[in-house]
């Protein structure tokens, strides 16, 4: 079942996570953003833009899972592109989203 059709500027999906409300967060590689999608309606309900385009993954953390951590990539970028994208490869912490994540499941080996 198709859940959401990415807009052209959102580029391509990469890493994802779910929040406590059951909404899907998708890192948009080459789109410079993380988007929040309502899986019931298939609508994008929130967009968080970041200062570099190659956004690779997202997860919730912090004491109460109210912080989102977002990774980005710099691999494959030449020196000229890296000079224009000084934040490529950094990890970002986003606060104030108004939503929390859920604890991860641990499995015994």
Both structure tokens of 101 = 């994540």
User: 30: annotated binding-site residue?
Assistant: no
Which carries the bigger pLDDT value, residue 22 or residue 81? 22
Whether 10 maps to a domain, the answer reads yes
Nearest CA to 56 out of 72, 33, 77 is that of: 72
Q: What is the pLDDT of residues 27-78, one digit of tens each?
A: 999 999 999 999 999 999 999 999 999 999 999 999 999 999 999 998 888 8
Whether 100 maps to a domain, the answer reads no
H helices present in 1-109, as ranges: 79-84
CA 42 to centroid of chain Cα atoms: 17
Indicate the pLDDT class of residue 81, thresholds 50, 70 and 90: confident
Rounded CA separation 27/6 (Å): 11
pLDDT score of 108 more than 80: no
pLDDT of the residue at 51? 95
Rounded CA separation 40/47 (Å): 18
Active site residues: 14
Whether 35 maps to a domain, the answer reads yes
Q: How many domains does the chain have?
A: 1
Q: Where residue 80 sits, what CATH number does that domain have? A: 2.40.10
């Amino acid at each position: 079942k198709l859940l959401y059709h990415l807009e052209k500027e959102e580029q391509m999906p990469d890493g994802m996570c779910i929040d406590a409300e059951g909404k899907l967060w998708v890192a948009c590689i080459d789109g410079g953003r993380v988007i929040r999608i309502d899986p019931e309606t298939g609508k994008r309900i929130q967009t968080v833009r970041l200062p570099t385009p190659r956004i690779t993954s997202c997860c919730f953390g912090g004491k109460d899972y109210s912080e989102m951590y977002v990774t980005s990539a710099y691999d494959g970028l030449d020196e000229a592109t890296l000079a224009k994208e000084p934040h490529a490869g950094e990890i970002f912490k986003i606060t104030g989203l108004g939503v929390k994540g859920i604890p991860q499941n641990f499995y015994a080996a």
